[in-house]
Structure 1
Amino acid sequence: MSNTEKKEVKRTSIGGQALIEGIMMKGPERIATAVRKPDGEIVVKESEINQKFKHKFFKLPVIRGSFVLIDSLVTGVKELMYSAEFYGEDYEEDALDKFLKKVFKDKADTAIVYVSVIIALLFSVGIFILGPTLLTNVIKGMVDNNLILNFVEGIIRVGLFVLYVYFIAKLNDIKRVFMYHGAEHKTIYCYENNEELTVENVRKYTTLHPRCGTSFMINVMIISILVFSFFGWPNPLMRLAIRLAMLPVIAGLSYELNKYVGKCNEENIFTKIITYPGFQIQKITTAEPDDSMIEVAIKAMERVIPRDGADDTW
């Protein structure tokens, strides 16, 4: 928070995602997606949350993290596709989308969402998990210390992620998405500080938020260094198998860490240390929004605030 009075802070579970000229907010009961159409009108789509993982098993600490991640990816891709529909001239269907529509017909939209998530996961695992371990293997003959090898692998992983974020931030369309990302964070901060959701109130808050998905990704990479260190440095094939097998554990631990940070006072020294790496990357993935973007974020937030006194805290 910047230049604001100290006040009681609401530890809300409400989160969001920046879209194409829009923002999705997810509360405890509903999901709301607000998009500013090319003609300037803000359209809002609201839906009830479908509890896909109702069994208690899926809510156990650490275990729940992987399922929350998958659910978030599916929801995110679905809402991203919805926002892109308003800009059809700029965002044309590719060959894969056309193929899936031909094969799945009336269920094509669902198929496209899940295939997109699978492709995104394969890309992420290949570039940021498997790639670094293969690159690090090059120095195996020069370094005979398992901890150092795992540390180098982790540094390469973080470095690749930072470079990826840095270069996509140069794209004009992505710059606007990152501005909407900043509007999302500012609006959540305003709500957490129990202030009326107005453009003036929202604007004064920071764009850096501890529960951001960017911070989650950085936590995944840092925690992976610690987890993978327990398995030494076996042959490449075994190493790849271990990294794939441990991904759900790492995702689960990262989720619990983000959840813990969301509950803590931001002035807590431990919280400051944990959030510092993520905040540095958020300086790339968020930007100061204009007033029109904040208006969109407010529209989405207003729809997901719990009604009838329902609880939205962690």
Structure 2
Amino acid sequence: MDKKLEAGGQAVIEGVMIKTPRKIAIAVRKPDGKIVTKTEKNNEEDSVLANIFFIRGIYKLVYMLNKGLKALIWSGNQVYEEEEELSNKEIFFVLIASLAFSILIFNLVPYVLTSIKIKEISFPIIFNLVDGIIRIIIFILYILLITKMDDVKQLFEYHGAEHKVVNCYEQDKKLTIKNIKECSTIHARCGTQFLILLFVISIFSFSVLPPLINLLFSGFIQLHFIIQKIILFIVRLLLIPVIAGFSYEFLKFFSNRQKNILVKGIIYPGLLFQKLTTKEPNEKQIKVAIKSLKLALD
């Protein structure tokens, strides 16, 4: 196996998806105990967008969301023995619905709650600190709540299995159950790490919005309070892809410098949050993750 390949992925229903520059591989354990697999060529780097600084972060996020959702649907079909496949149009609507839900829970609700007590125009830094803290609290409560569901708990166990096999592979250890069990369920390039970095960068980015809009549009302060809030919230949403692009670049930079003391301090909160989104897997789950990784590296 080529140890130079970068590997990453996600948990799916009763399985793991692993992505390398060569392939995307999914391994799923069916109810009868049999492991079924699916592989496809990874075309992510074929686009010119994949190599443009900053833009590549947005492009790769959308690419991974698309592949990740398709992997979840395929894994569900294998586990529940359904043959129906969603069309690209249906997948698009599922993505839009998921996006709308995340905007409502993790953006609109914290924004409204913060607006009740703090004036964004007058105290932008305090406003966005409180807004960011509320968002993180909601995120934690959301994770703790869904973890009570057996299916989600199992998903987090497969998430842990995915991290363990990738860590084992990156440490140049043989992919055995014993070696993998000794590896951590925490990984620096995890999507949870990306989300926390996104939250933190957005606090600073959103803090400059009110004074900047005031500076560019002198009549903004004269607008009705509700109109101001709607404009500010829409601009915040439009900035999310931009912040995501920067978050990707920061994460890429940090992942190669994990021994640096400053970098350790910056990425620590994200690593800590992974304790919520990963659980210790059992041997059967580890075997599924090994299968997925080996196929992706082949």
What TM-score range do you get, normalising by the shorter chain?
0.7 to 0.9
Separation in structure 1 between the aligned mates of residue 4 and residue 261 of structure 2, nearest angstrom: 18
Query: Letter of the aligned partner of 1:245 in structure 2?
Result: L
In the other structure, the counterpart of 2:240 is: 247
Report the Cα offset of residue 284 of structure 1: 1.0
Separation in structure 2 between the aligned mates of residue 230 and residue 15 of structure 1, nearest angstrom: 34
Task: Give me the TM-score of the superposition, normalised by structure 2.
Answer: 0.88
Separation in structure 1 between the aligned mates of residue 135 and residue 59 of structure 2, nearest angstrom: 23
Once the two structures are superposed, residues 43-91 of structure 1 have per-residue CA deviations (whole angstroms, 9 ceiling, x without a partner) of 1111111348612x453222211111111111111000111012327xx
Describe the SS at the equivalent of 2:285.
Answer: helix
Report the Cα offset of residue 202 of structure 1: 0.8
In the other structure, the counterpart of 1:257 is: 250
In the other structure, the counterpart of 2:273 is: 281
**In structure 2, which of residues 69, 81, 92 is the aligned counterpart of residue 77 of structure 1?**
69
Separation in structure 1 between the aligned mates of residue 39 and residue 121 of structure 2, nearest angstrom: 55
Are positions 1:14 and 2:44 aligned together? Answer: no
In the other structure, the counterpart of 1:310 is: none
Are positions 1:131 and 2:109 aligned together? Answer: yes
Describe the SS at the equivalent of 2:199.
Answer: helix
Are positions 1:46 and 2:17 aligned together? Answer: no
In the other structure, the counterpart of 2:205 is: 227
Report the Cα offset of residue 240 of structure 1: 1.0
Report the Cα offset of residue 170 of structure 1: 1.2
**In structure 2, which of residues 19, 23, 26 is the aligned counterpart of residue 30 of structure 1?**
23
Once the two structures are superposed, residues 187-238 of structure 1 have per-residue CA deviations (whole angstroms, 9 ceiling, x without a partner) of 0000001111111111100101111101111111111001111112772011
Instruction: Indicate the RMSD between aligned Cα atoms, in angstroms.
Output: 2.2
Report the Cα offset of residue 110 of structure 1: 2.2
Separation in structure 2 between the aligned mates of residue 36 and residue 158 of structure 1, nearest angstrom: 34
**In structure 1, which of residues 161, 181, 186 is the aligned counterpart of residue 164 of structure 2?**
186
Identity of aligned residues (%): 41
Question: Residues 179 and 289 of structure 1 are in contact (CA less than 8 Å); yes or no, is this contact kept in structure 2?
Answer: yes
Question: Residues 35 and 42 of structure 1 are in contact (CA less than 8 Å); yes or no, is this contact kept in structure 2?
Answer: yes
Which protein has the bigger helix share? 2
Are positions 1:269 and 2:261 aligned together? Answer: yes
**In structure 2, which of residues 189, 192, 198 is the aligned counterpart of residue 211 of structure 1?**
189
Question: Residues 25 and 292 of structure 2 are in contact (CA less than 8 Å); yes or no, is this contact kept in structure 1?
Answer: yes
Report the Cα offset of residue 131 of structure 1: 2.4
Question: Residues 120 and 127 of structure 2 are in contact (CA less than 8 Å); yes or no, is this contact kept in structure 1?
Answer: no
Separation in structure 2 between the aligned mates of residue 274 and residue 135 of structure 1, nearest angstrom: 28
Report the Cα offset of residue 126 of structure 1: 2.1
In the other structure, the counterpart of 2:59 is: 67
Check 1:142–1:43 CA distance in 2 against 1; reply closer, same or farther (3 A cut).
closer
Question: Residues 25 and 296 of structure 2 are in contact (CA less than 8 Å); yes or no, is this contact kept in structure 1?
Answer: yes
Structure 1 stretches of at least 4 aligned residues deviating more than 6 Å after TM superposition: none
In the other structure, the counterpart of 2:218 is: none
Describe the SS at the equivalent of 1:86.
Answer: helix
Separation in structure 2 between the aligned mates of residue 38 and residue 232 of structure 1, nearest angstrom: 54
Once the two structures are superposed, residues 148-189 of structure 1 have per-residue CA deviations (whole angstroms, 9 ceiling, x without a partner) of 111111111111111111111111111111111000000000
Separation in structure 1 between the aligned mates of residue 4 and residue 210 of structure 2, nearest angstrom: 39
Deviates more, 1:141-150 or 1:61-70: 141-150
Check 1:267–1:51 CA distance in 2 against 1; reply closer, same or farther (3 A cut).
closer
Separation in structure 2 between the aligned mates of residue 12 and residue 211 of structure 1, nearest angstrom: 14
Task: Give me the TM-score of the superposition, normalised by structure 1.
Answer: 0.84
In the other structure, the counterpart of 2:216 is: none
